[in-house]
Chains A and B, each alone.
Chain A
Amino acid sequence: MQWFNIILQGVLIGGLYAMFAAGLSLIFGVMRLVNIAHGDLIVLAAYIALVVTQELGLNPLTSLLLVAPAMAIIGYALQRGLLNRTLGDDLLPPLLVTFGLSIIIQNGLLQLFTADSRKLQAGPIEVEAFQLMPGVWIGILPLIQFIVAVTVIAGLQILFYRTALGRAFRATSDDQSTAQLMGLDTRHVFAVAMALSLAVIAIAGVFLAIRANFDPAIGPARLIFGFEAVIIGGLGSMWGTLAGGIILGVSQAIGAQIDPGWQLLAGHIMFLAVLAVRPQGLFPKVSG
């Protein structure tokens, strides 16, 4: 029964990892860009939420109403102003520019907020739990976070395959120059994609900040979790990413149970194992 609990916890946090991954996956799908600053942007969202909750006295979950649009605007500006210039055939510019951005965000946050650990307080909801069956407890907050994660991923799927914007994303990703010929301003399309990605990051960042302590340096680890979830699940598939996140979460939970120091290692080992045995991921989409 104890193992069931552990795996359940792993599944629930897997939802958070899947949210880290979803934004990463979205950007790669639309413009073949891997944003190395992705994790640091999650942390940035957490700090924005910190400021908003402190200044306006809002509950962290409510603060999302301000944080998500703020991050979306930052994403649009970032893509339009900086990252659009890195797109092209050469793989060095986007990689090195986003790496530079990662360092800048980390150190910028360090200057503004110091290295002190922070946490967002969501109130009693943080410790509430209900009993699913004898011996099995589910925390309310982890459950909400998981449901939100699944909703976000489902929402992104619907957006991609059932809306005009999603059509624009897919067409631009297929063939930039023909998309332009058909009237799509690709600079704008890319910027909207980044805005969307950062809105998802905002949600992930706020949940992260409620759940655990955060400081300016934890960004890269979140990038790695998101990345591992994408690779384990398989490139090109949103639901695969969810599965990847869950598998990662469960691996970490099992590792933590064996020895607390093994939590992260267990996740990395699972990632390396998938890479060794099935490099295309467990549920890859056949790419067109």
Chain B
Amino acid sequence: MPDSPLLAVKAIDSFYGDFQALFGVSLTIEADQVIAVIGANGAGKSTLLKSIAGLMHPHSGEIVFDGAPTTQAPAFDVLQRGIALVPEGRRLFPSLTVEENLLIGGQSRRPGPWTLARVYELFPVLAERRQLPAPALSGGQQQMAAIGRALMTNPRLLLCDEISLGLAPIVVHDIYARMPQIIAEGSSLIIVEQDIMQALRAASHVYCLQEGRISLQGPARELTRERILAAYFGV
């Protein structure tokens, strides 16, 4: 077991143009861990994931993954190092079929357990629809495809941005039920969720963001409802 964490985000400030979205945010995650980031709309959750994934670059602070800094690395480079983001809204490629979407993930050629066959084992419904164009799938199926696509890159750290958004509870439950298998194959997870109960069930550690700042963090078991609500709304 390495001493240093898998990912260490150290006091980053991220901006959209002139608008500051993150203020000195720090976060760590160990190998095989699942952490959740919760917060209201606009709190900065997606910004945090985008900064880790390399779509955005913080103006100050550091991001260190597996011992090496990735703060200013471009997204495709971050992916090669082993961090994959399942973006908010799924964002499957509409011109590609389901299988082609998965194969795009595979083009990164990172070594690991995830293959097309393994992904179809995890999400059998995708195998049935593999030749369909991606937009033809239902919301839940698209979410599975988006996760599968990211898994095909064999990430050591998988970032999931609001995968429950717009989906029926039973579908959300179905997807979250696969998380243990994903972790078993060697990925750590950071999940961003608006559904607090789901986040607390899935993660061992929780961070709460409020207007760009970490307002609460700790093991999921130890956080009381009152403390979470207070941190969520900034009361």
Contacts and interface: CB of A to CB of B under 8 A. Distances in A.
Would A and B touch once assembled, by the CB under 8 A criterion? yes
A181 B79 contact: yes
B20 interface: no
B53 A183 contact: no
A164 B94 contact: no
Contact of B104 (A177, A182, A185, A288): A182
Contact of B108 (A171, A183, A288): A183
Interface string A161-185: 0001001101101110111111111
A168 B94 contact: no
B80 A183 contact: yes
B86 to A, nearest CB: 9
B96 A174 contact: yes
B107 A170 contact: no
Given A177-B55, A181-B55, A183-B153, A168 B93 contact: no
A170 B96 CA distance: 7
A181 B87 contact: yes
Of A164, A174, A182, A186, which is in contact with the most chain B CB atoms at under 10 Å from its CB? A182
A171 B105 CA distance: 11
A171 B85 contact: no
A167 B100 CA distance: 7
B76 A184 contact: yes
Nearest to A185: B76
Given A181-B84, A182-B105, A175 B76 contact: no
Interface in A142-167: 164, 167
B103 interface: yes
Contact of B74 (A167, A171, A180, A182): A180
A180 B73 CA distance: 12
A170 B107 CA distance: 14
A288 B92 CA distance: 12
A183 B91 contact: no
Interface residues of B, number: 27
Contacts of B94: 174, 288
Nearest to A166: B100
Contacts of A183: 76, 79-80, 105, 107-108, 153
Contacts of B139: none
A168 B93 CA distance: 10
Contact of A178 (B74, B87, B103): B87
B135 interface: yes
Contact of B76 (A174, A180, A288): A180
B133 interface: yes
A164 B84 contact: no
B75 interface: yes
Nearest to B103: A167
Contacts of B205: none
B107 A164 contact: yes
Contacts of B75: 177, 180-181
A172 to B, nearest CB: 9
A179 to B, nearest CB: 8
Interface string B61-81: 000000000000011100110
A164 to B, nearest CB: 6
Contacts of B57: none
Nearest to A173: B95
18 contacts: A164-B103, A167-B104, A170-B93, A171-B95, A177-B75, A178-B87, A178-B91, A178-B93, A181-B53, A181-B75, A181-B79, A181-B84, A181-B85, A182-B84, A183-B76, A183-B80, A184-B104, A288-B135
Interface of B: 53-55, 74-76, 79-80, 84-85, 87, 91, 93-96, 100, 103-105, 107-108, 133, 135, 149-150, 153
Lowest 10 CB-CB distances: which A-B pairs, in order? A183-B108, A183-B79, A180-B75, A174-B93, A178-B91, A171-B93, A170-B95, A185-B76, A288-B95, A288-B94
